[in-house]
Amino acid sequence: MKLEIDESRCKGCNLCTMVCPYKIYRPGSRPNRRGIYVPDLDQPERCPNCRLQGLYGRRLCGVCALICPDQAIRWVPEKPFEPMKVVIEY
């Protein structure tokens, strides 16, 4: 699963940056089209929900999604891995 912030909902309150035990959210550095500083994600694959939600069949943390007043945080299924051809030159 992949962690996403829905920019159309987020109001930049930064509550998520305060609660995440893995410090995955960082205060936004650039305003979006609406002038909102949406938090940046720092290696979101570290989130246990991203790694283990599929395996356990349920959310393992979710504090950020619970505290977000605008329901802007979600996990979306990732596309299946697509093998690609790699050419190595010696």
Interaction between residue 74 and ligand SF4 (CB under 6 A): no
Interaction between residue 70 and ligand SF4 (CB under 6 A): yes
Q: Which of 42, 61, 76, 84 binds ligand SF4 (CB under 6 A)?
A: 61
Buried b (16+ CB within 10 A) or exposed e, 75-84: beeeeeeeee
Q: Which of 30, 40, 63, 90 binds ligand SF4 (CB under 6 A)?
A: 63
Is 9 in contact with 70 (CB distance < 8 Å)? yes
Interaction between residue 64 and ligand SF4 (CB under 6 A): yes
Tokens of 22: 């893995």
